[in-house]
Amino acid sequence: MENLNTNIYDHDTNVDMTHKINTMELDNWINHLKYIKKELVNLMNICADGLNETLEDDGKAGSFQKKKEENDTLLEALIKYSNSRTNILECEDTQCDMAYITEHESYRRSYLYHLDKYRRLKDEFFNKVQKKCLPLRSN
């Protein structure tokens, strides 16, 4: 977000700092979702290259595709939300500031929920890969 300077200064109010921290956090979410998008494409390609047969699981590629669509939807929503925050500097009362803060909290919950579901899916996939494809190690 170009209009909101995210440098935090001694003279910033708590609300100003909150908006700046939220902006930095939002930028991180967007970058992370862009990375997840690339990672999901790689995982789908791995499954398409015959790993599904080895794992005896035809559903993983579809699960990754569905997660990619969910990721794309959330990424698009966060980009739109980021663009809507350009008016944050024009807030003149607490009610306006709180509306932005409340909206950010809602997006935070959505992002964290999505991240948790994605990590579970990926962990499940790699656990299965480890069990089926890697030789047992004895210690």
Residue 72, domain member (yes or no) = yes
The range of the structural domain enclosing residue 98 comes to: 39-130
Residue 112, domain member (yes or no) = yes
Contact between 30 and 78 under an 8 Å Cβ cutoff? The reply is yes
Global confidence as pTM: 0.84
Output the six-digit token pair for 30.
């967007």
Contact between 52 and 60 under an 8 Å Cβ cutoff? The reply is yes
Number of domains present in the structure of the chain:
1
Residue 138, domain member (yes or no) = no
Residue 68, domain member (yes or no) = yes
Residue 7, domain member (yes or no) = no
Residue 8, domain member (yes or no) = no
DSSP 48-60: IIIIHHHHT-SSH
d(CA 41, CA 4): 33
Per-residue confidence of the chain (139 residues) as pLDDT tens digits?
344 677 888 888 888 888 889 999 999 999 999 999 999 999 998 888 666 566 666 577 789 999 999 999 999 999 999 999 988 888 889 999 999 999 999 999 999 999 999 999 999 988 888 887 766 554 4
Residue 116, domain member (yes or no) = yes
Residue 113, domain member (yes or no) = yes
